[in-house]
Amino acid sequence: MSDQYPPPSQPPGPYGDQPPSGQPQQPGPYGNPQQSGPYGEPQQSGGPYGGQPQPQPQSQAQPQPGGPQQFGDQTHLAPPPNPATNPYAADPDQPAEVAERIDPPEGTTVNAAGGVTPRIDVKEKAAFAMNGFLAWVFIALLWVVGIGWGIFTVVNDGFPAPSIVIILVALLLGSSVTVIQPGQAKVLQFFGRYVGTVRRQGLVLTVPWTSKKSMSTKVENFETNELKVNDADGNPVNIAAIVVWQVADTAKASFAVEEYHRFVTIQAEAALRHVASQYPYDNAAEGEPTLREATDVVAARIAEEVNARVHLAGVTVIETRISTLAYAPEIAQAMLQRQQASAIIAAREKILDGAVGMVNGALRQLETTVPMDDAHKAEMVSNLLVVLTSESRVTPVINTSMPRERDNN
């Protein structure tokens, strides 16, 4: 018996392996012609996926969407872009006129990830309301009629069905009467559905069988936390602001956000941080606003940005003011020295300008009475400038020698 294996006469393998010589080739499971590759692809005439062979370095190749990627000695096929998973992102395989952004469906918004998010599109509307005092008079009449009719029916050995109905109607109307204080509104819901808002003050009759949620429409204000922000020059500063706001749309404040008070607080701090990073603290270019000098401009910008952020919650911002503004403690000392140096330079320039003007005036007045040559004028100018610009008190020195003696010496 021979130790060698019998000649290859087995049928093709599960991946379309090379059949024995003299037998026809069988297609592989991927429809490729029978070759020696593990997946039935041509090994010499093409690349790993039937394309032209392209040499790639051993290092990691740049990923290409939808094409082969080389990672060391292994080649992987990156999944092509699938517009079905995100229909609002353009497909790079489509023509430019086709791969345009599709408008999101009504009632949704496109989020940061490119998907769609349902949007609660609700606006405030007025609910039914009437004078509550007139309603109480009518309810009282119903009670009198219902009780009287019931007594009359019972006395005559009858069943007081009409009186029961009248009393139930009176109870239903009585439960619909509510009191609304100034600066307050009632948001009505009928079995979970928003039916309107009542802003009428006093005793009011509203829609029966509705839940009534009180909501303040008064002007409110709060102070943000003291935030550490890098200004436009990269210097860390501590800043805080006071935000004055009011609920303008009770429906959005109730249903569009979870807690509108917390929503307004967080969005105000985010807007404050963003605006503060757009301006330098001080020492800006000519005509450029700064946080320290142009506080009105910065406050108006903060109010505008906060108002744009909290509009979703039905809130309007009335005013914002900067309450705290200072350099961060880690650079406060260095910035103080810089400010002191700037102040000293400005003061010295002012003193020097005044001293030069005083010396010029003194020379003009002395030339008319005391003749002096250039050397004496220079000496006099030097002495006057020392006296006028010195920080310490000057001690005078009297020279008793005559000009000719000084010249001879």
pLDDT by residue (tens digit) across 120-164?
A: 778 999 999 989 888 888 988 988 888 888 888 888 877 888 888
Closest listed residue to residue 403, CA positions, set 361, 366, 371: 371
CA geometry: angle 21, 24, 27, nearest 5 deg: 120
- The DSSP element (H or E) to which 103 belongs, if any, is none
209-to-125, 142, 203, 369 alpha-carbon distances in Å: 18, 19, 17, 107
What is the chain's length?
Answer: 409
The most confident of 9-18, 28-37, 227-236, by mean pLDDT: 227-236
Listed range (148-152, 165-169, 339-343) with the worst mean pLDDT: 339-343
3-state secondary structure of 384: helix
pLDDT attached to residue 102: 47
78-93 pLDDT tens trace:
444 444 444 444 445 5
| Predicted pLDDT of residue 382 | 79
Quick check: 166 and 141 in contact, CB under 8 A? Answer: no
* Residue (of 342, 352, 344, 340) closest to 390 by Cα position: 352
Distance separating alpha carbons of residues 328 and 231, to the nearest angstrom: 11
Kindly indicate the confidence band of residue 380, based on its pLDDT and cuts at 50, 70 and 90. Answer: confident
| pLDDT tens column, 306-337 | 999 999 899 999 999 999 998 888 876 766 77
Kind of pairing between the strands at 202-205 and 130-131:
antiparallel
DSSP 383: H
Neighbours of 309 (CB within 10 A): 19
Quick check: 13 pLDDT over 80?
Answer: no
